[in-house]
Structure 1
Amino acid sequence: MQLYTVETGNFKLDGGAMFGVVPKIIWQRTNPADANNRIDIAARSLLIENGNRLILIDTGMGNKQSDKFFGYYARWGDHNIDKSLAKLGFHRDDITDVFMTHLHFDHCGGSIQWNKDRTGYEPAFKNAVFWTNEAHWDWAIRPNPRERASFLKENLLPMQESGQLQFVEQGDVSYIVESELGFGILFVDGHTEKQMLPHIRYKEKTLVFVADLIPTVGHIPLPYVMGYDTRPLLTMAEKAAFLNRAVDQTFYLFLEHDAHNEICTLQTTEKGARLHETFRFDELF
């Protein structure tokens, strides 16, 4: 097995929305805001080369939305998925599996693209299976009012129409489900229904793709929960259990949304779990 980071593009989000009830005077210490109160956000994917499979975890926003849509998110930098794959010697047609932690547009928008004449949509990874889970799929295609702006039908329905959509087994266990993709999955429901966090055993370490449970190092303290979460009290309970395991088992947290830190570890302090060390992927692995 070989792992690689894939930077799909940076953007900005409102800092208040990202930190919920936490006051700006506190959260800006770790996540400084610009003049419009927006903080730097990454869309960092993980690529897993395992035998004859090339598995991509999440795909970023993509590029098919309107200029008005992207204007809300102030994209910055020069990262995109094709350049990142090319640097690694791959092409999007090499991808065999696209695993989506959840179906909010900033995690799955890059899975679908315009067709050649821009009359409709098609899979951006023509040789890949798209993986989600049935409970989350049902949640996404019948969105609640709070999440309707995050579940975009142009990102979802073309996966199903292409015949490339499949569901992982959720299982009836309290923690990690072993998947057919070769890694374990933790299901969490606070941010959205059945978000999936891959746990990957790699070079004698456990790397956890923490997605929107812990978007940045600034979100490690327990009460630091996004305003986007549908069930914030449940997020706190899920996060508390995860943080304890992360410290006890020395998990390495792969940070999808932290524009300035790729991987971190945690330590126990008198205030609870806190940041221990940060790493670039290439210096750790």
Structure 2
Amino acid sequence: MNLYPINSGNFKLDGGAMFGVVPKALWQRTNPADANNMIDIAARCLLIEEGNRLILIDTGMGNKQSDKFFGYYHLWGNDTIDTSLKQYGFNRDDITDVFMTHLHFDHCGGSIQWNKGRTGYEPAFKNAHFWSNKDHWQWATQPNKREKASFLKENILPMEASNQLKFVGLPIGDTIKNSELGFDIFFADGHTEKQMIPLIHYKDKVIAFMADLLPTVGHLPLPYIMGYDTRPLLTLEEKERFLNIAADKNYYLFLEHDAHNEIITVQHTEKGVRLKNTYTTNDIFN
């Protein structure tokens, strides 16, 4: 197995929204804001090369939305999926599977693109299966009013129309062991219904792709929960349970949204689970 970080592009989000009820005086110590209260956010995806499969976890925002839309998110940097794939000798047509942790636009938008005539949409990975789960798919295609702005139909419905959509099974408990894609999946419902956290057994390590269960290092303290989460008290319980396991078993936590920290480990302290070590992807994957 080989693992590759795929940087799909950076953006900014409001720091207050990213930390919910936590005062700025506290969260800005780890996530400093600019003059507009915006903090740096990454969309760091992960490519798994295993046998004849190339599995891409999440795809970022993509590029098909309007300039007005992207104006809200202050894109920065030069990273794209295409340049990141090319760095490792791959292109979009090589991808066999796209696994989406959930269907919010900043995690799945890059899965679908305009067609050549810009008259409709088509899969951005023509040879890949797109993986979700039935409960989350129903949640995303029949969205509640609070999350509706995050579930964009142009990102989601073309996957079904393409006949490339597949669903992983749902767990008994909170974890699937050795899913159809060859890795374990931890399910979490606090951020959104049935978000999926891949647990990848790599050499002698477990790499946990944290998605929105732990967006950045700054979110390690349990009450530091995004304002975007639909069930924040449930997020608190799920995050506590997962971080305790991560500290006990020395998981390596791959941070999708932390623009400045790629992989971390955590440890038990008197204040709860806190940062142990920080690594680059080169440290762990090479």
TM-score bucket of the superposed structures, by smaller chain: over 0.9
2:18 is equivalent to residue 18 of structure 1: yes
Shift of 1:283: 1.5
Tell me the secondary structure at the aligned position of residue 107 of structure 2. helix
Matched, 1:219 2:219: yes
- Counterpart CA distance in 1 for 2:193 and 2:248 is 27
Aligned to 2:276: 276
Instruction: Give the equivalent residue in structure 1 for 2:252.
Output: 252
Partners of 2:10 and 2:172 in 1: how far apart? 36
Separation in 1 of the partners of 2:176 and 2:116? 41
Deviation at 1:238, TM superposition (A): 0.4
Select between 53-62 and 165-174 the one with higher mean Cα deviation.
Answer: 165-174
Write the letter of the residue equivalent to 2:261.
N
Q: Write the deviation string for residues 113-163 of structure 1: whole angstroms up to 9, x where unpaired.
A: 000010000000000000000000000000001100000000000000000
Q: Residue 170 of structure 1 contacts residue 177 of structure 1 at CA under 8 Å; is this kept in 2?
A: no
How far the C-alpha of 1:284 sits from its partner, in A, is: 2.0
| Deviation at residue 267 of structure 1 after TM alignment | 1.0
CA contact (8 A) 1:261 1:279 kept: yes
Contact 2:174 2:188 in 1 (8 A): no
User: Root-mean-square deviation (CA), in Å?
Assistant: 0.6
CA contact (8 A) 2:101 2:211 kept: yes
Contact 2:170-2:176 within 8 A present in 1 as well: no
* Cα displacement (A) at 1:172: 1.5
- Following the alignment from structure 1 to structure 2, what is the Cα–Cα distance between the partners of residues 174 and 116? 42
Where do 5+ consecutive residues of structure 1 fail to align?
none
- Could you tell me how far 1:26 is from its partner in structure 2? 0.3
Matches within 5 A, 1:112-261: 112-261=112-261
**Post-superposition shift, 1:265?**
0.3
Matched to 1:113, the amino acid is Q
- TM-score with structure 2 length normalisation? 0.99
Q: TM-score, normalised by structure 1?
A: 0.99
The correspondence of residues 17-96 of structure 1 with structure 2, limited to 5 A, is: 17-96=17-96
The percent of aligned pairs where both chains have the same amino acid is: 72
Unaligned runs of 5+ in 2: none
Contact 1:262 1:278 (8 Å CA) reproduced: yes
CA distance in 1, matches of 2:171, 2:229: 24
Matched residues in 2 for 1:10 and 1:174: separation? 31
Matched residue type, 1:191: H
One-letter amino acid of the structure 2 residue matched with residue 186 of structure 1:
F
Deviations 1:4-29 (A, max 9, x none): 00000000000000000000000000
Aligned residues: 285
Using the TM superposition, name which of 9-18 and 177-186 deviates more: 177-186
